[in-house]
């Protein structure tokens, strides 16, 4: 699939979700990776990090909930929108996390191709 055949709306929502994932890795983890897998009708994003983890994923998914420190908030982050933005913009969201170990995220985006 050639990138220009991806609907611009899909490109935007994928970019928003990946931005939120990478921001969380940078702010909360000691290291992490993001892989993007392209298929004919979908894009899958796999993210793994080693870091503080998320104690309550369901709670953390609520818009406005944050565990951000004052330092992170001073940088302009930590509004509690990251995980909810990830969920809003992906078609399938799977998050697994262990406190003091890290987090794994799988996102699937079904593509609307344009000719």
What was the pLDDT predicted at 1? 44
Number of separate domains in the chain? 1
Confidence category of residue 4, pLDDT binned at 50, 70, 90: low
Q: What is the CATH number for 35?
A: 3.30.565.10
Q: Which tens digits make up the pLDDT trace of 58-93?
A: 888 888 777 777 777 777 676 666 898 999 999 999
Among 104, 87, 99, 108, CA closest to 36: 108
The token pair that represents 37 in the structure block: 């897998």
- Structural domain contains residue 22: yes
Report how far residue 96's alpha carbon sits from residue 106's, in angstroms, rounded to the nearest whole number: 9
Report how far residue 26's alpha carbon sits from residue 41's, in angstroms, rounded to the nearest whole number: 30
């Amino acid at each position: 699939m050639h990138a220009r055949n991806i609907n611009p709306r899909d490109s935007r929502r994928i970019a928003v979700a990946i931005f939120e994932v990478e921001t969380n890795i940078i702010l909360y983890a000691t290291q992490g990776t993001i892989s993007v897998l392209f298929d004919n009708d979908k894009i899958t994003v796999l993210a793994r990090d080693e870091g503080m983890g998320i104690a309550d994923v369901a709670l953390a998914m609520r818009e406005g909930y944050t565990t951000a420190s004052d330092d992170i908030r001073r940088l302009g982050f930590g509004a509690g929108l990251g995980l909810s933005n990830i969920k809003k913009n992906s078609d399938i969201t799977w998050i697994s996390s262990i406190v003091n170990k890290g987090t794994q995220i799988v996102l699937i985006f079904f593509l609307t191709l344009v000719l």
